[in-house]
Structure 1
Amino acid sequence: MTVDTLSPSAVSRSSETSRCIKAIIGASSGNLVEWFDFFVYSFCSIYFAHAFFPGGNTNTQLLNTAGVFATGFLMRPIGGWMFGRIADKYGRRSSMIISVLMMCAGSLMIAVLPTYAVIGAAAPALLLVARCFQGLSVGGEYGTSATYMSEVAVAGRRGFFASFQYVTVIAGQVTALIVVVILQLLLSQEALRAWGWRVPFVIGALAALVSLYMRKSLDETSSSATRNREDAGTLRGLFCHKRALAAVVGFTAGGSLVFYTFTTYMQKYLVNSAGMNPKSASTVMTAALIVYMLMQPLFGALSDRIGRRTSMILFGILTTTCTVPLMYALRSASSPYAAFGLIIVALAIVSLYTSISGLIKAEMFPPEVRALGVGLSYAVANAVFGGTAEYVALWLKSAGIEPAFYWYVTALCAIAGVVAICMRDPSKEGYLRGNSR
């Protein structure tokens, strides 16, 4: 009887894949915790808005909390620069450890923060400080984790493996929503508004201990030679790649805006515009985000076959033509099931971008400025367009011209599509083709 044995090359590939999976799980644990903490604010704001902004009607209170949410995004470029420099100059692992600790500090601060009734105007001011703290952390987390996952991913399957960055981003949202749904089932509306909204922030802070442990065991992907280069982690070195910077900003503007429109903002849209009750809206979004999360590896693998540029062109075309009809249909959705189906269609289109979001950016920059390039350019566009999505949507609604928001999203997605058509395919020409470590 003949016994087949694996060739040395097959063993090597198996070992590389195993190493890749372990590294991505370790990095993803912190990514999930960070995004759970960040999105808990948005999902719980409907319950604590009155505690920090007691004046005005419900829409005004939500508008104020959305403004604080947007301010946290405005800190992202600083975080992208600060943590990007740390990652390129001192290592990806160190940057990821610091960012998850900072995020948890911000969450714990919100969990124990006194309300307006106790300390007056200092309450919303301190809420703003906590959100800025979290904004710095997430601004650095995205660039560093995207860089790390792209560098550990197996060649030829980078789209598939790197897609797990957004799996954990979405998992953070799903987990936050599940926690909110459980609290809605266990607590009364009065209890949620009084103290129940604090529970998710405490959970997020405690979960960081597990994440910290897992991230401390990660291998470093950057080499000492790369980190010791004169222009490592510097703006001078980054600005040598102006075309890559412009491309990332261009398609991140539309990508981030449409992502937050159909995820973070959609829960409020279903309640305030479609007339759905909060519990049904939370259930619909939880189910939709779970499906969306499972889509990411599929669309990531698709990009390995058709190319990142082709995926981005399809994203630009479909979001430009479908956003307005989908938003109108959702506003008049007659049942939670209809709303769920429409949201799934929208999120499938968005997956063309989100599944490769981090990878396509990392492939454009050399290793000595990769984390800085990914983090800073993404953070600038995300802060200006993604972070203000809720605020702009609610402001236009309060002004009586809500459909203008649909066209605003469409216009930016069209720009992203044009940028994708004009760009070279980084999966074929990018710096990650060779060994960057």
Structure 2
Amino acid sequence: MPRRCVTSGDTLIKGDQSLTLSELSNPAEQVRSLPVARRIRAIVGACSGNLVEWYDFFIYAYTAIYFASQFFPKGDQTSQLMATAGIFAVGFLMRPLGGWIFGAIADTHGRKRAMILSVFLMCAGSLGIAVIPTYESIGGWAPVLLLIARLAQGLSVGAEYGAGATYISEVSSKGNRAFYGSFQYATIIGGQLLALLTITVLQHLFNKDAMHEWGWRIPFFIGAISSVVVVYLRRSMIETLDAKEAKRKEAGSIRGLLPHKWAVFVTLFITMGCSLFFYTFTTYMQKFLVVSSGIDSKTVSLIMTSALVIFMLLQPVFGLLGDRIGTRAMMMLFGALAAVVVVPLMMALKQTTSPWIAFGLVMVGMVIAAFYTPVTGILKADLYPPSVRALGVGFPNAIGNALCGGTAEYAALWLRSINVESAFFYYVALMAALTFLAAWLMPDLRKHGYLDGDGQVEQNAGLR
């Protein structure tokens, strides 16, 4: 009788026992023999969730101007927007907790389960915001419920990156990991663009009064429905975690990370420099070009939308480059270029009033960022063994993002308010230099990483 080829998630009945593939053999070995079509479907399932998660995360910022007056006591618009901005910031503060909790789930119960749960959490947050009654209806409960929904979204985004980067690194194949990994950041940018496009369409369909009254709720309903679709897509994903790894004593625990302290610090410092640079040239740049360069806000929106589209399309191109020269070399190139170029680049942007020159300069910054964005998830996953990989990627990454990414705009505006705006440029350069140093201290992960090398990362750290 011919033997049937089983894939992860299939069940084999033997006597009165039901054994999953992960208990029969090593899923990593099975993944390596997957046909390309099945591998691509798995990547699509992982990245579709990333797209929806970041759409939901950014749609809050884009709709805040409409719903601020709905959830807070009557007063001036600035105070209401500051309150909504404070709740937006809470989302960043919750990301380390999400990275910790869901990293542990991914390392002990499977990457697939953690990624499905994270989407459910984002769905709950988005649906919650969509249906919360106004301040006039329920008083002080309105901002409290908004905060709870935002906490759920922050936890979800913190969960998504670590589990997603780990899953993509394991389901992708040797020699193509950076290319596959590039779609994780492409969908982060895509989520931001999709949120911007949704708001633009609604602004054309409804007048300002309708948007303030109820139109702002539509994007959150769209996000919640999209999350349900992603859950369906992710149900068919294969699992990449070996049951033996999940049952290890150290699996998914902070104690299990202690032998990998060097990798944790590298992950943290790389994330701090990369996220600060990323948010400077994406989120903050929209305000910088208006308040510092003096360019019209509508023109700035066109500049940034065009730049983000090109930046998204660059991801697989630079992913292919990363597979050729290695993730460490890509990260070193980013750190060196960013440290040297960011100060004169920001100075030139501040002085220009030409939209075309501004677009060109912004694209220089985004091209520099493209050296790290396709490879960062794969690089971090390569630093850890499977039993603590999702936790090792997600937890320090979320801390670094909260420290430098989430505070980038506030730090820039505060330094501008005390007339030392250029200090922010040097701050970005310094953090980029630390990223270069962290990458330089790494061994060649193609030889010593855990994905395709001998797993001797710590032993070869700092050695050339």
Shared fold, TM over 0.5: yes
Number of aligned positions between the proteins: 424
1:31 deviates by 1.1
Q: Which residue of 2 is the match for residue 204 of structure 1? A: 223
**Cα pair distance change 1:115/1:15, threshold 3 Å:** same
* Contact 2:123-2:228 within 8 A present in 1 as well: no
Stretches of structure 1 that go unaligned for 5 or more consecutive residues are: 1-11
Q: Provide the residue aligned with 1:18 in structure 2.
A: 37
**1:201 offset after TM fit, Å?**
1.5
Code of the aligned partner of 1:280: T
Instruction: Note closer, same or farther for the CA distance 1:115–1:87 as it changes in structure 2 (3 Å cut).
Output: same
Indicate the residue corresponding to 2:275 in structure 1.
256
Contact 2:295 2:353 in 1 (8 A): no
Supply the distance in 1 between the matched residues of 2:342 and 2:142 (Cα, whole angstroms): 38
Task: Report what 1:361 is aligned to.
Answer: 380
Which stretch of structure 1 is more off in the superposition, 391-400 or 358-367?
Answer: 391-400
Q: 1:243 to 1:224 in 2, by over 3 A?
A: same
User: Residue 272 and residue 104 in structure 1: after superposition, are their counterparts in 2 closer, same or farther (change >3 A)?
Assistant: farther
Segment of structure 1 superposing worse, 27-36 or 61-70: 61-70
For 2:174, what is the secondary structure of its paired residue?
coil
Out of 161, 165, 168, the residue aligned to residue 142 of structure 1 is: 161
Q: What whole-Å deviation, never above 9, does each CA across 1:208-249 have from its counterpart, x for those lacking one?
A: 111010001101011111111121111111111011001000
Q: How far off is 1:141 after superposition?
A: 0.6
| Superposed counterparts of 1:227-238, under 5 Å | 227-238=246-257
Whole-angstrom distance in 1 between the partners of 2:317 and 2:226:
28
Superposed displacement of residue 330, structure 1: 3.1
Alignment partner of 1:77 is 2:91: no
Aligned to 1:6: none
Gap runs ≥5 in structure 2: 1-30, 456-464
Choose between structure 1 and 2 for higher RCO, CA contacts under 8 A separated by at least 6 residues.
1
Higher helix share: 1
Aligned to 1:299: 318
How big is the shift at 1:108? 1.6
- Find the counterpart in structure 1 of residue 344 from structure 2: 325
Q: Structure 1 runs of 4+ off > 6 angstroms?
A: none
1:153 and 2:172 equivalent? yes
- Counterparts of 2:307 and 2:326, CA distance in 1: 27
Letter in 2 for 1:380: I
Deviates more, 1:322-331 or 1:229-238: 322-331
- Give the superposition deviation at 1:129: 2.0
Partner of 2:145: 126
Quote the Cα distance in structure 1 between the aligned partners of 2:332 and 2:441: 10
Deviation per CA, 1:26-68, whole angstroms, max 9, x where unpaired?
Answer: 111111111110111223334444544554564x655443332
The TM-score, its normalising length taken from structure 1, stands at 0.90
Amino acid at match of 1:113: I
Please say which of residues 13-22 and 144-153 is displaced more in the overlay.
Answer: 13-22
Q: Give the letter aligned to residue 293 of structure 1.
A: M
Counterpart CA distance in 1 for 2:454 and 2:134 is 52
1:377 maps to which residue?
A: 396
Name the CA shift for 1:66/1:261 in 2 (closer, same or farther; >3 Å): farther
What amino acid maps onto 1:295 in structure 2? L
1:16–1:154 CA contact under 8 A, matched in 2? no
- On the 8 A contact 1:75/1:132 being kept in 2, the answer is yes
- In 1, Cα distance between equivalents of 2:81 and 2:411: 12
- CA-based RMSD of the aligned residues comes to 2.4
Report the CA distance between 1:125 and its aligned residue: 3.2
Please list, as runs of the form range in 1=range in 2, the aligned pairs for 1:31-50 lying within 5 A after superposition. Answer: 31-50=50-69
Cα distance in 2 for residues equivalent to 1:332 and 1:46: 29
Distance 2:98 2:348 in 1: 37
In the alignment, the residues of structure 2 paired with residue 86 and residue 13 of structure 1 have an alpha-carbon distance, to the nearest angstrom, of 24
Amino acid paired to 1:108 = L
Q: Is the 8 A contact 1:70 1:391 kept in 2?
A: no
Q: Pick closer, same or farther for the CA change 1:80–1:194 going to 2, 3 Å.
A: same
**Whose radius of gyration is greater, 1 or 2?**
2
Amino acid of the structure 2 residue aligned with 1:256: S
In 2, the alpha carbon distance for the partners of 1:402 and 1:183 equals: 35
- Cα distance in structure 2, aligned partners of 1:68 and 1:172: 20
Whether 1:290 and 2:309 are equivalent positions in the alignment is yes
Contact 1:184–1:279 (CA<8 Å) still a contact in 2? no
Give the % identical residues.
Answer: 54
1:42/1:264 contact within 8 Å kept: no
Q: 1:407 to 1:86 in 2, by over 3 A?
A: same
C-alpha deviation, 1:77, in angstroms:
1.1
* More divergent stretch after superposition (99-108 vs 142-151): 99-108
- Secondary structure of the structure 2 residue equivalent to 1:265: helix
Within 5 Å, give how 1:34-113 maps onto structure 2: 34-52=53-71, 55-56=75-76, 58=78, 62-113=81-132
Q: Distance in 2 between matches of 1:197 and 1:153?
A: 39
